[in-house]
Amino acid sequence: MKYRKFSGSDFDFLKDIVGKENVIEKKDLEPDFAHDELQTVSAFPDVHVYVTDKEQVQKIMKYANEQLIPVTVRGSGTGLVGACVPIEGGILLDTSKMNRFLELDKVNMTLTVEPGVLLMEIYEYVEKEGLFYAPDPGEKSATIGGNISTNAGGMRAVKYGVTRDWVRGLEVVLPNGELVHFGGKVVKNSSGYSLKDLIIGSEGTLGIVVSAILKLIPIPKKAVSLLIPFKDRIAAIDAVPKVISMETLPTAVEFLEKNSLRFSEEYLGKKIPNADYQAYLLVSFDGNTQEEIDHLVDLVSQLCVDELGAIDVYLVDTDERKQSVWSARGAFLEAIKASTSQIDECDVVLPRAHISEYLTFTQNLSQEIGIRIPYFGHAGDGNLHIYFCKDQLTDEEWLRKTEIGFKKMYLKAFELGGLVSGEHGIGYAKKPYLKMQVGETQIQLMKSIKQAFDPNNILNPGKII
Amino acid sequence: MKYRKFSGSDFDFLKDIVGKENVIEKKDLEPDFAHDELQTVSAFPDVHVYVTDKEQVQKIMKYANEQLIPVTVRGSGTGLVGACVPIEGGILLDTSKMNRFLELDKVNMTLTVEPGVLLMEIYEYVEKEGLFYAPDPGEKSATIGGNISTNAGGMRAVKYGVTRDWVRGLEVVLPNGELVHFGGKVVKNSSGYSLKDLIIGSEGTLGIVVSAILKLIPIPKKAVSLLIPFKDRIAAIDAVPKVISMETLPTAVEFLEKNSLRFSEEYLGKKIPNADYQAYLLVSFDGNTQEEIDHLVDLVSQLCVDELGAIDVYLVDTDERKQSVWSARGAFLEAIKASTSQIDECDVVLPRAHISEYLTFTQNLSQEIGIRIPYFGHAGDGNLHIYFCKDQLTDEEWLRKTEIGFKKMYLKAFELGGLVSGEHGIGYAKKPYLKMQVGETQIQLMKSIKQAFDPNNILNPGKII
């Protein structure tokens, strides 16, 4: 597909639609808008446009489709695989100002929002009404549009699932500018192919989400976290399936290791209490009565100490302890980033039985190819975040080692029944590995689907497939 | 698409693949295999073939695709919209003998099964291991393959969601015979377009599921049901959102009316206790301790009696009462079927706030067009099952009245934000209404997806779109 060169009349058209204050030409653009959080790929658009309502999105898409101008959607730009980077130039369509709460429907327990609303704003908005939006991706300043586009997961997936499970309906602008509705405020849906589920996780390549109907539930009244030290990582991770299958599902099961905690301590500049053991599980439960929570704490403590070799069980109960432990966990990515000049990541998801084996493989690989590979992850759902760090490597060594290293990492994951991405998506950076995972037939099916939605290939070209 | 006429050499080919005992020619075929449970459409295949493993499915599909012979998959034939009826003839591919439990993985809490395993067999298999497969469609003798193909829902959708939410991975034979894997034993997945979710609910038109990896959780140790009478239907249904948003989600909220209970009593030939009120909610909770359950029973009793006008709250606690109440609820469809010569159904799903309004509309319509329309439904998830009964109508009147009536019913549902089908699917019978609901653009998108998977249109032709 040959795209048309962007010209002065295109600027005029866009300014007419969204106002000149919402159109930033390439020459005036902040470099931050040429990449995402991880900066593995970088490209400037011809123009950066802020939209403020769905009619603007429709008009711009209709125009871009007729004029053959590529359009890439961007929310907060917190992605890690380059999905929002306009690698073919054209229009960077920014939904961050399209951030209204459209309706809180308490009877149907749904929240309807525009795509630019931030995840942290959603929590705040619904929780004061006694309601709960459960998905809990690490990056709270991501937009809900971005969360939907990558099917973001997060820590509470063990009990509550991922973004997909919390999206009841979507209003989507197709590449030709047409507005369509998928799903609705309904709990069940067996009405034809699930186009809604096709949009979720499609990373802005099939259509532009202009509003979303989210499922809510009554907020659990009580919650508790436990920090449980083990003699080593293997003991900790081996305990996970037993903790999960014990009784009530935990909301989250994270694993922490001394090394990663040290990183966080350095980065945050403060000590974390009880952080002197080799490995930990950080286990959370929620419920509605104190008795329920106490019962679960008793059960899991007994199980871990008596049967699974845990050294102790620390209740993360005071506000200070909670703040300290969860901020340490939350700071892992930032701490790793701050420790080196450049990183690239592997977001594999594995059957949870294989996490330990996979991490041993990773540590051996780190030795073998001479690259530092810190990691952390969601032990409860098998999703690992593994980071290659450039440190003192030359550009050439970095390229070579990441290429060899990632290939080995992904092949090993596939061998164990894992997938390329648990929650960060494919975007630009992980395309070759998706193909390795699913093979040519599935790539062709995905290409046909892309072709059906976007025959001119103007929407986020060059991503996923 | 012109299909090739079925011939003697095709029989020979099929007998070679599956053995002659598994090939039944049209002339020897039981009439039951020409229709599904509701018999709204009927057609004989040229041949009825039982497959027993995936390699057979692959070989047959490859052959059928090359030879342009239509193939329609059938499980238990318990569907209600004609999805398993071979309207273009050809091969009826029966998966009911492909019914092995392939793996119970307790560490990853997954169950891998072939498509012909029955829903009731799954419950039995996992529950004795302390595990729980939560989807609860009414028809327990349906196959899991059939459940996946319609994204079956059931009563526990309020708390636990529908079949889609419990399928982690699928092994699928494409129309050309190729075997592909979607998803896996993983909790999260952001690895390209969700082809798994496209297969779920596609009613056997995109591929043939030859094995499924189901999610399991620890089985709740305690459960309780409450039968709560109200002065009328409106009072009962108005109470539903308040019961659901109270605290812990109920597993199910069904509504029952005197009329439908009478039907069941007659059909079952026995009295149901406390069945003398106009309307009821049947509310269930589950949990892990008796305290938790007692707390919920107290809360919901107080709420219903003190604030929502309930007349009383009956604990459905003894085995006898449970058996009696739930068998009455379970017998509704059978009782309605037994009451008349022919029925057709409407399986709309609505935002739960609109159920009451919709049922009033239905009752008025019944008066207006002169047709008996009994109904029941899942108040907790907004999914209604509404039945037109032929009774003494002539064939001509029946056709005319159902056509007019269904059109009005669906248009009203769409006006209220509802969808054609909550759990029974589109199949053959509901095609015109799906098009009314989603419009031409979405139908075209679905057709393109169908074309991508099945360019020769040999797999279950004439269904959904």
Q: What is the pLDDT of residues B149-191, one digit of tens each?
A: 999 999 999 999 999 999 999 999 999 999 999 999 999 999 9
Count of Cβ atoms closer than 10 Å to residue A186 Cβ: 24
The ipTM, to two decimals, is: 0.96
Q: How far apart are the first and last CA of chain B?
A: 15
Chain-centre distance of CA A79, in angstroms?
A: 7
Alpha helices in A278-341 (DSSP H): 290-302, 319-330, 332-338
The nearest CA of chain A is from the CA of B166 a distance in Å of 11
**pLDDT > 90 in chain A, percent:** 91
Q: Is A423 on the interface with B (CB under 8 A)?
A: yes
Q: Which residues pair with A224 in a beta bridge?
A: A285
Decide the pairing of beta strands B71-74 and B91-94: parallel
The nearest CA of chain A is from the CA of B376 a distance in Å of 16
Contacts of B153 in chain A (CB under 8 A): 188, 190
Q: What is the pLDDT of residues A294-325, one digit of tens each?
A: 999 999 999 999 999 999 999 998 888 888 88
Flag whether the pTM goes above 0.95. Answer: yes
Contacts of A131 in chain B (CB under 8 A): 245
Is A197 within 8 Å of B197 when comparing Cβ atoms? Answer: yes
In one letter, which amino acid is A232? D
The nearest CA of chain A is from the CA of B204 a distance in Å of 11
Is A351 within 8 Å of B221 when comparing Cβ atoms? Answer: no
Residue A1 binned pLDDT confidence (cut-offs 50, 70, 90)? low
CB B366 within 8 A of CB B373: yes
Q: Is A137 on the interface with B (CB under 8 A)?
A: no
Is B158 within 8 Å of A187 when comparing Cβ atoms? Answer: yes
CB B116 within 8 A of CB B147: no
Name the residue of chain B whose CA is nearest to A219's CA: B247
What confidence score (pLDDT) does residue A266 get?
Answer: 85
Partner B, chain A 387-416, Cβ-Cβ below 8 Å? none
What confidence score (pLDDT) does residue A138 get?
Answer: 92
Write the residue in A202, A295, A349 that is nearest to B186 by C-beta: A349
What confidence score (pLDDT) does residue A462 get?
Answer: 97
What confidence score (pLDDT) does residue B1 get?
Answer: 59
Place of tokens 């959708």: B157
Contacts of A139 in chain B (CB under 8 A): none
Q: What is the pLDDT of residues A221-257, one digit of tens each?
A: 999 999 999 999 999 999 999 999 999 999 999 999 9
What confidence score (pLDDT) does residue A322 get?
Answer: 85
Is B424 within 8 Å of A217 when comparing Cβ atoms? Answer: no
Q: What is the pLDDT of residues A139-149, one digit of tens each?
A: 999 999 999 99
Top-confidence residue, A266 or A197: A197
In one letter, which amino acid is B353? A
Write the residue in A183, A190, A422 that is nearest to B424 by C-beta: A190
Q: Where are the beta strands (DSSP E) in A392-464?
A: none
Nearest-angstrom CA–CA distance, B195 and B299: 43
Tokens of B256: 């029952």
The nearest CA of chain A is from the CA of B201 a distance in Å of 6
What confidence score (pLDDT) does residue B318 get?
Answer: 84
3-state secondary structure of A1: coil
Residue A463 binned pLDDT confidence (cut-offs 50, 70, 90)? very high
Nearest-angstrom CA–CA distance, A89 and A25: 12
Write the residue in A197, A383, A442 that is nearest to B188 by C-beta: A383
Contacts of B464 in chain A (CB under 8 A): 192-193
Q: What is the pLDDT of residues A411-448, one digit of tens each?
A: 999 999 999 999 999 999 999 999 999 999 999 999 99
Q: Is A373 on the interface with B (CB under 8 A)?
A: no
Give the dihedral of Cα atoms A137, A139, A144, A147; nearest 10 deg: -60
Question: Within 13 Å, how many C-alpha atoms sit on residue A380's CB side?
Answer: 26
Please provide the average confidence, as pLDDT, over all residues in chain A.
Answer: 95
Contacts of A152 in chain B (CB under 8 A): 190
Is A453 within 8 Å of B441 when comparing Cβ atoms? Answer: no
Chain-centre distance of CA B243, in angstroms?
A: 25
A to B CB pairs, distance under 8 Å: 278
Per-residue pLDDT averaged across A31-46, rounded? 95
DSSP assignment of B30-77: -GGGGS-SS-SS----SEEEE--SHHHHHHHHHHHHHHT--EEEESS-
In this prediction, the residues of chain B whose per-residue pLDDT falls under 50 are none
What confidence score (pLDDT) does residue B264 get?
Answer: 83
Chain-centre distance of CA A30, in angstroms?
A: 24
Contacts of B465 in chain A (CB under 8 A): 192
Count of Cβ atoms closer than 10 Å to residue A22 Cβ: 17
Give the dihedral of Cα atoms A41, A42, A48, A49; nearest 10 deg: 0
What confidence score (pLDDT) does residue B270 get?
Answer: 82
